[in-house]
Amino acid sequence: MDVSRTRALRGPNIWSRSTAIEAIVNCAGAENDLSRYPDFEKQLRALFPAIGALHANKPSEPITLAHALEHAALALQSQSGCPVTFSRTTATEEAGTYQVVVQYSEEAVGRLALELAEQLVQAALRGEDFDVPGAIAKLRELDEDERLGPSTGAIAEAALARGIPLRRLTKGSLVQLGWGKKQRRFQAAEVDQTSCIAEAIAQDKDLTKKLLRACGVPVPLGRPVTDVEDGWKAANEIGLPVVVKPQDGNQGKGVTVCIYEREHFDVAYRAAEPYGEVMVESYLPGHDFRLLVVGDKLVAAARRDPPLVIGDGTHTVRELVDLVNQDPRRGDGHATPLTRMRLDDIAFARLKAQGLTADDVPAKGQRVVLRNNANLSTGGTATDVTDTVHPDVAQAAIVAAQTVGLDICGVDVVCETVGKPLQGQSGGIVEVNAAPGLRMHISPSFGKGRNVGEAVMDQLFPKGDNGRIPVVAVTGTNGKTTTVRLIAHLLRTQGLTVGMTNTDGVYINSKQIDSGDCSGPRSARSVLMHPDVDAAVLETARGGMLREGLAFDECQVAVVTNVGEGDHLGLNYITTVEDLTVLKRVIVLNVATSGHAVLNAADPHVAAMAPYCPGQVIFFAQDGQHPVLARHRALGKRVVFVDQGDIVVAEGKFEKRLPLTRVPLTMGGKIGFQVDNTLASVGAAWASQVPWDVIRTGLGSFINDVHGVPGRFNVFEFRGATLIADYGHNPDAIAALTQAVSAMPARQRSVVISGAGDRRDQDIVKQTEILGQSFEEVVLYQDACQRGRADGEVLGLLRQGLANAQRTRQVDEIHGEFAAIDHALSRLKAGDVCLILIDQVEEALAHIKKRVADAASKPLAAKGAKARAGTSKTTARKPGAASKQVAVTVR
């Protein structure tokens, strides 16, 4: 068994809506049927009983070693505490090759689980041992390192529960919630609007107390000190017992409380000194409480008890600590509900104050306190007391948070009980904390856990907002880029700032911020992160979906322009039109329940996607009587079609019309495929709640030129002839272009074409088969990238398609795209129409524009001008002649 490739699907994908690791697994011989290894499963389950029984997706399929890998990778993650449930193994068209897909919750953990699963399977196959507990321990440790901490995680879970999209920006705890202009960011319990000045005040404990005292909030006496002697002097001035702590501290680090003696004070000072300036303050008797304030509300409260053990008359203090630390809820960091107790200098000093050492055996029932501060991070426990907080105490905490200026604030109170006002029990607020830990409220040691993440969501996204902007995803075989550009234009006409991705680049409104093929998830995520974007229109190509999944969890509108005969078939195990349909359907499956899928009713593969949409469906087709569209309209649902030269949108009794003569993109309705693109765009704009008057205006102002839609039926005038430049590169596109060009009056029609080497032979051949029925002259050229094909191989396939051409009478072969364009231009006469199927879109368009400009500024070249650079071979043929060709010199 060989795992030849793995990749992470980071969003909804062809397999599921879950994140997953996808691996290509090659099995040889008997590995394709484990019934030929009768002892394998027994050995595997002996090593790893939790794996359960192996099975295939279908009872009729044999169980392979790839299935064993799948089950092992999933079970290892599950046993390590990861919430994963989905996995699948699918045979490809290649014998012995399988796609294995296993869900993950953390990508690094999923990848490691697959590696360990492969080692486990190989060990079982060879009859060797494998350390399963060690593997699970590795996965658990990595998961704790990778996953969000309890505070950040609680807020993230609350966001997901409300349907707010979430993206982790770093390996740490920095998280983006929402998209575009609605996005917010947080890290732990600190949000993007938390003031750095407020945080600085909270870190300066002396300044905090001064401000609180000025507002009438009770606080303990105390001051910063310069050294241990000054500290002891301050302790005596204040009056023993005292508390020693860092002036800028957190998580209880360096804090010692209830100090009566100089020796204990010296130990406490040494513990605080590494964290910066030290302060000494009076010790307030009572319990330690943490009150959590979010905005102007108290949302949770907990009593924190110091780390302690109860004597049993048998074990030493050290042994009792070890026994307590065996509690699975206790860990070394903050990922677990509780932290392990520590025996350190502070603990030894506290034991000494109780007349004990770590090696003494306390009496049965004796409470042995290891430190007086009760932070969970030093081993303490928490008891929820939210429902018992007195209104006056709650108000004091809120005033403290607002005085410092924190929107999420942990207020530390010391008093006998929070059920009574502080003033009557000598209680006070001892600290105000920015980015407070939330785990004591989420998972208290005792009492009810509080959904503090929800309170943070209410603060970040008031009134139930979900942080989403409208997302329109567009896919299909042809027409995607034009449709994306037109939808974006219609949304901009409404006054929105629109982020757009397509095969030409990434755009914010009309400004290009990235270039190249940007139809994948990385570019889409860039748009969704942009802080100015009101709406996103995303071209969603097959490659990105296969490589990484979608960049979003759901879209408001999904547009599928067509599937037709497909494109890129045979690549990445998408071998049939049915496979391609399943892939394109991914965006439909992930439409929001309040959203719409805009589907081509005239394409049976697309129309069949309708039942998979969680929201509503808008069908479009040029033929208003098409059975799919007509039935949908009869049910009172939304449709877009053409009737008597008008675009019609209809839903029940609602109907609006717009003449195609007012839509420049369609050239008055003459270009059929642009009519389809327009209908799809109108449907998407309608689903996005764009007013009809705005749609009407936007359609009229969208110009199909090299600036508006480069490489998509761009029309030029050249010495009385008409040039059309287009990026069409599959049979469906060629057929649509041929139909459009055939409808244009012409003295003679010519075409310039190459073929992409990564298409199937039959797809390349079919392109020129179609062209040969409508064009008198064909110029074949070899493009810049053969994509794995041998030199001349693509040209041979293109010639093959012209073998039985009914109309073509001359075929020229040119090496070099620009040379081919120049050759075709040199032969044009007034009244001719020339279709140029470009490969290098920007460069080719620039070349054509220059030739057009040069022609406009110079007199008509002499008849019979020769082609410029490049080599050529010309074949003359009579219409309908056999495929035998004769090479002649270019005239």
Task: Kindly write down the DSSP assignment for every residue of 555-570, as one continuous string.
Answer: EEEEEE---TT-SSTT
Q: Based on the domain organization, do 845 and 874 belong to the same domain?
A: yes
Q: What is the mean pLDDT of residues 143-149?
A: 92
- Give the sheet arrangement for strand 535-539, strand by strand: 511-515, 505-508, 498-502, 535-539, 471-475, 555-560, 591-600, 616-623, 639-643, 646-651, 654-659
3-state SS, one letter per residue, for 536-555: EEEECCHHHHHHHCCCCCCE
Q: Within 13 Å of residue 845, how many CA atoms lie on the same side as its CB?
A: 17
Angstrom distances, CA of residue 325 to CA of 80, 253, 318, 338: 20, 20, 11, 9
Place of tokens 């203090």: 317
Instruction: Record the tokens describing residue 715, joined without a space.
Output: 């029309």
Closest to 350 (Cα-Cα) out of 325, 367, 329:
367
Looking at the fold, whether 560 and 653 belong to one and the same domain comes out as yes
**Same domain as 718, residue 693:** no
Q: pLDDT confidence of 164, banded at 50, 70, 90?
A: very high
Instruction: Please tell me whether residues 730 and 841 are part of one structural domain.
Output: yes
What backbone phi and psi angles, to 5 degrees, belong to 160? -65, -35
- Give the pLDDT band of residue 731 (cuts 50, 70, 90): confident
| Mean pLDDT across 257-285 | 91
In three-state secondary structure terms, 61 is coil
Mean pLDDT calculated for residue range 627-638: 98
Q: Are residues 690 and 755 in the same domain?
A: no
Query: Mean pLDDT, the chain, as a whole number?
Result: 91
Specify the higher pLDDT residue, 124 or 874.
Answer: 124
Question: What are the structure tokens assigned to 839, written together?
Answer: 């490969």
Give the pLDDT band (50/70/90) at residue 865: very low
The closest alpha carbon to 810, from 748, 867, 762, belongs to 748
Give ∠ CA 681-684-688 in degrees, rounded to 5. 135
pLDDT reading at 857 higher than 90: no
Residue where a domain terminates, one of 123, 146, 169: 146
Is residue 321 one of the residues assigned to a domain? no
Give residue 889's pLDDT band: very low, low, confident or very high (50, 70, 90).
very low
pLDDT of residue 473: 98
CA-based torsion, 311, 312, 316, 322: positive or negative: negative
pLDDT at position 730: 85
Q: What does the pLDDT read at residue 878?
A: 43
What pLDDT, on the 0 to 100 scale, is given for residue 787? 67
Closest CA to 825 of 792, 848, 791: 848
pLDDT tens sequence across 660-694: 999 999 999 999 999 999 999 999 999 999 999 99
Same domain for 723 and 614, yes or no, is: no
Cα–Cα distances (Å) from 403 to 69, 210, 223, 391, 415, in that order, read 58, 11, 20, 18, 21
CA-based angle 875:878:882, to the nearest 5?
Answer: 80
Q: What is the CATH number of the domain that holds 758?
A: 3.90.190.20
pLDDT interval class at 240 (50, 70, 90): very high
Determine the pLDDT at residue 426.
85
The pLDDT tens digits for 300-323 are 999 998 888 999 999 999 999 999
Going 622 to 623 to 628 to 629, the CA torsion angle's sign is positive
Say whether both 788 and 680 belong to one domain.
no
568/681 same-domain check? yes
pLDDT number for residue 312: 93
Q: Residue 871, Cα to own-chain centre: how many angstroms?
A: 48
**Domain total for the chain?**
4
18 touches 590 (CB < 8 A) = no
* Cis before 659? omega within 30: no
- What is the Cβ-side half-sphere exposure of residue 742, based on CA atoms within 13 angstroms? 15
- Describe the crossing of helices 132-146 and 107-126 by its angle, rounded to 10 degrees: 170
pLDDT in tens, 706-716: 777 888 889 99
Which pTM was predicted? 0.84
Give the mean model confidence (pLDDT) for residues 861-878.
48
User: Domain range spanning residue 596?
Assistant: 471-701
Domain-embedded: residue 642: yes
pLDDT of residue 571: 75
Burial 798-816 (b: 16+ CB within 10 A, else e): bbebbbebebbbbbbbbbb
Tokens read off for 186: 């947080």
Does residue 509 sit within a domain? yes
Query: Is 777 in the same domain as 652?
Result: no
Confidence of residue 890 (pLDDT cuts 50, 70, 90): very low
Which of 701, 726, 753 is the last residue before a domain boundary? Answer: 701
pLDDT digits (tens, 9 = 90+) for 774-809: 999 999 998 766 666 888 888 989 898 899 888 999
Q: What is the DSSP letter of 691?
A: -
Query: Do 524 and 663 fall within a single domain?
Result: yes
pLDDT, tens digit, 9 for 90 and up, residues 12-62: 999 999 999 999 999 999 999 999 998 999 999 999 999 988 998 888 899
Quick check: is 244 in a domain?
no
Reply yes or no on whether the pLDDT at 339 is more than 90.
no
pLDDT over 70 (residue 234): yes
User: Which of the two residues, 879 and 8, has the higher pLDDT score?
Assistant: 8
Instruction: Give 255's pLDDT tier (boundaries 50, 70, 90).
Output: confident
Segment among 27-36, 73-82, 535-544, 877-886 with least mean pLDDT: 877-886
Domain assignment of residue 385, yes or no: no
Lowest pLDDT segment from 133-142, 425-434, 780-789: 780-789
What SS3 string covers 807-856?
CCCEEEEEECHHHHHHHHHHHCCCCCEEEEECCCHHHHHHHHHHHHHHHH
CATH number, domain containing residue 603: 3.40.1190.10
Q: 784 in a domain, yes or no?
A: yes
> Can you give 581-637 as a three-state secondary structure string?
HHHHCHHHHCEEEEEEEEEECCCHHHHCCHHHCCCEEEEEEEECCCHHHHHHHHCCC
Q: What is the pLDDT of residue 112?
A: 98
Residue 429 domain-assigned (yes or no): no
Query: Where do we find the tokens 């005085």?
Result: 403
Positive or negative, the Cα torsion across 672, 673, 677, 679? positive
Query: 712 — alpha (psi -120 to 50), left (phi > 0) or beta?
Result: beta
Residue 85 belongs to some domain of the structure: yes
Confidence of residue 872 (pLDDT cuts 50, 70, 90): low
Residue 533 DSSP one-character state = -
The predicted pLDDT at position 760 comes to 83
689 shares a domain with 763: no
Provide mean pLDDT across the span 78-92: 96
pLDDT of 401: 97
> 489: number of CA atoms within 13 Å, CB side?
23
**Residue 640 and residue 776 in one domain:** no
- Give the pLDDT confidence of 447-474 residue by residue, as tens digits: 999 999 999 999 999 988 999 999 999 9
